[in-house]
Amino acid sequence: MQDFLNGFMLLSNFLIVPATAYGSQLAMGALGVTLVYGILRFSNFAHGDTMAFGTMVVILVTALFQKMGLSIEPLPTALLAIPFGIAATTVMVLLSDRLVYRHQRKVRAAPVVFLISSIGLMFVLNGLVRFIIGTGDQRFGDGERFIIRFGEFKELTGLDEGIAFKTSQGLTIVTAIIVVAALFWFLERTRAGKSMRAYSDNEDLALLSGISPERVVMITWIISAALATIAGTLYGLDKGFKPFTYFQLLLPIFAAAIVGGLGNPLGAIAGGFVIAFSEVTVTYAYKKLLTYWLPESWAPEGLVQLLSTDYKFAVSFVILVLVLLFRPTGIFAGKSV
Amino acid sequence: MSFLIGESMTGGYGGADILNGCTIAVERGEIAVIVGPNGAGKSTAMKALFGMLSLREGAVKLDGHDITKLSPQDRVAQGMGFVPQTHNVFTSMSVEENLEMGAFLRTDDFKGTMEQVYALFPILKQKRKQPAGQLSGGQRQQVAVGRALMTQPKVLMLDEPTAGVSPIVMDELFDRIIEIARTGIAILMVEQNARQALNIADKGYVLVQGGNRFTDTGEALMANPEVRRTFLGGK
């Protein structure tokens, strides 16, 4: 029994807790991608760098607040800065819509033209963020670092293994729940939200009903900017901010959105967790767990790690390829890509 | 002066003209039906009235005002309702939400109109929480008509409302359409089921190659031997 519990704690500490936090971050990122796809009908490659842009603003504002001595101990100051990040990102995103996408909508460009434009925008943002904040690692989390400390947990339970539950992880999960609930409330209950769903469902009929496409598009960009900033900041608090990492996040985020079914918000959330858990379970080294759970004589000699963490992106790729091959509309039957 | 009239409309989707000076008019409280062979420009004439294609010549007037230059959305605001032939409901949204979207332009309380729609189509009230995509063909058409009624239009235009529904459902739909006309709404529809449609029509237009071939009351058209022989497939 003791061994089983020890093993379970080990699993929670290294697999379940981090994967849940990572899954929440991916889910919020994928929600932004999926909403833009549902309304504007293109895959927004600039989303990863929109996250980086939002997080950058949050980091700068956080630094300012820290200098001013503003703090919300034990929570990280960055939370206070998030609204400013969202505002700046919204302005940036609406500006890019004005400069780039609105013209494409006017000439009724093919989705692939939108997609290529978004790649262009991705590079511009990429450069802009690196130019302003640099390419290096940024740690901007302050306040209490842990909700549950490893040592305290061990003492409390008397087990050999403990769980460390970081504030950033707890915050991520709680924020994700609040954000997702708010988003679904907005989509299901408000007039603007319903008009977004109507527009995504049947563009022509939405026009006939008097729903203004420009307004729907604007609301979509604002939501996607907010989601990107929140997801980016939480990811940054959890794992540190580095522009290149955010660019790389694009792959798991897209995989999550596609696995769940592009255009389907519920699918984006499920997809986020599928990708996160697959990535973590495949790259986790099971040696210690197996020594707890298996008879002593069966204890493995190797690390029992299926894939080195360096290759974690391969997991997203493989899942993406499998889904596109066998179920192109994703788990929740979104739009086929 | 008719309530809604498209006078000598000429135009098409770029390229060759599909409409060649055809005139369609409808009065309040009346049902006007456009029939004709395939490719005669029936749906095109309807779309032209609704502003979905731009006319080269001719004019569209609603209640005496020239609306030729208005966009379809603006025409909805002016009191025109349009039910497209296909893709005419929001499949992922519930029946009730479909009706709400129909009333999107309205700023006043539309609960009363929704009750009227439910009174007209009682089955929709039963299924109001169900996604419209899960309904049968006939029920979907009811949702589509109900959605268009939510703006309280003065003119309701229906593009083949009975396409792909069973004869029984068709009869029922026609009964409902007569009921709607009795409330004073002008109804204009394009129909494949020419006989049944002309039966309920106050006015019938037989279009051939984008022009008016016969225009008369529904009854007179049904009695006209030439119309019967050439378009209604009977003696």
Name residue A246's amino acid. Y
* Third-level CATH fold of A2-326: ABC transporter involved in vitamin B12 uptake, BtuC (1.10.3470)
pLDDT in tens, B147-169: 999 999 999 999 999 988 889 99
Indicate if the pLDDT at residue A163 is higher than 60: yes
Contacts of B49 in chain A (CB under 8 A): none
Give the distance from CA B107 to its chain's centroid. Answer: 25
Closest chain A residue to B78, measured at CA: A210
SS3 B8: strand
How many Å apart are CA A161 and CA A46, to the nearest integer? Answer: 42
Closest CA to A247 of A90, A24, A51, A28: A51
Share of chain A above pLDDT 70, in %: 99
CA distance between the termini of chain A: 48
Beta bridge pairs of residue B22: B9
Q: pLDDT value at position B234?
A: 61
Alpha helix (H) ranges present in A134-249? Answer: 150-157, 167-189, 191-201, 203-208, 213-239, 243-248
Indicate if the pLDDT at residue A336 is higher than 70: no
CB contact under 8 A, A208 and B87: no
Indicate if the pLDDT at residue B235 is higher than 70: no
Indicate if the pLDDT at residue A335 is higher than 70: no
Interface test with B, best of A209, A216, A266 (most B CBs within 10 A): A209
pLDDT in tens, A79-126: 999 999 999 999 999 999 999 999 999 999 999 999 999 999 999 999
Give, for A146, the enclosing helix (H) or strand (E). Answer: strand A146-148
For residues A94 and A218, is the Cβ–Cβ distance under 8 A? Answer: yes
Q: pLDDT value at position B131?
A: 95
Tell me if chain A has a CB within 8 Å of the CB of B147. Answer: yes
Q: pLDDT value at position A210?
A: 87
For residues B19 and B10, is the Cβ–Cβ distance under 8 A? Answer: yes
Q: pLDDT value at position A337?
A: 46
Mean pLDDT of chain A: 92
Indicate if the pLDDT at residue B92 is higher than 50: yes
Candidate from B72, B77, B100 with C-beta closest to A194: B100
Contacts of B97 in chain A (CB under 8 A): 194, 197-198
Paired sense of beta strands B4-11 and B57-62, if any = antiparallel
Q: How many other β-carbons are positioned within 10 Å of the β-carbon of residue A153?
A: 18
pLDDT in tens, B198-229: 999 999 999 999 899 999 998 899 888 888 88
| Cβ within 8 Å of B, A 166-205 | 191, 194-195, 197-198, 201-202, 204-205
For residues B62 and B26, is the Cβ–Cβ distance under 8 A? Answer: no
Tell me if chain A has a CB within 8 Å of the CB of B90. Answer: yes
CB contact under 8 A, B93 and A198: yes
- Domain ranges in chain A are 2-326
Closest chain B residue to A263, measured at CA: B92
For residues A167 and A76, is the Cβ–Cβ distance under 8 A? Answer: yes
Paired sense of beta strands B80-83 and B155-159, if any = parallel
Q: pLDDT value at position A166?
A: 92
How many Å apart are CA A59 and CA A62, to the nearest integer? Answer: 5
How many Å apart are CA B212 and CA A212, to the nearest integer? Answer: 36
pTM for this prediction: 0.90
CA distance between the termini of chain B: 35
Q: How large is the average pLDDT for residues A253-281?
A: 93
Tokens of residue A315, six digits: 């997991």
Q: Provide the b/e sequence for B123-141 (b: ≥16 CB within 10 Å).
A: bbeebbeebbeebeebbbb
For residues A24 and A178, is the Cβ–Cβ distance under 8 A? Answer: no
Reported confidence tier of residue B12, pLDDT bands at 50, 70, 90: confident
The size of the A-B interface in CB pairs under 8 A is 57
Domains of chain B, CATH where assigned: 1-79+193-235 (3.40.50.300)
Q: How many other β-carbons are positioned within 10 Å of the β-carbon of residue A276?
A: 24
How many Å apart are CA A337 and CA A187, to the nearest integer? Answer: 23
Mean pLDDT of chain B: 91
Contacts of B89 in chain A (CB under 8 A): 202, 205
**In terms of pLDDT, which residue wins out, A141 or A228?**
A228
Tell me if chain B has a CB within 8 Å of the CB of A110. Answer: no
Interface test with B, best of A197, A200, A205 (most B CBs within 10 A): A205
Beta bridge pairs of residue B134: none
Closest CA to A249 of A266, A267, A265, A272: A272
SS3 A131: helix
The sheet carrying B57-62 orders its strands as B19-26, B4-11, B57-62, B65-66
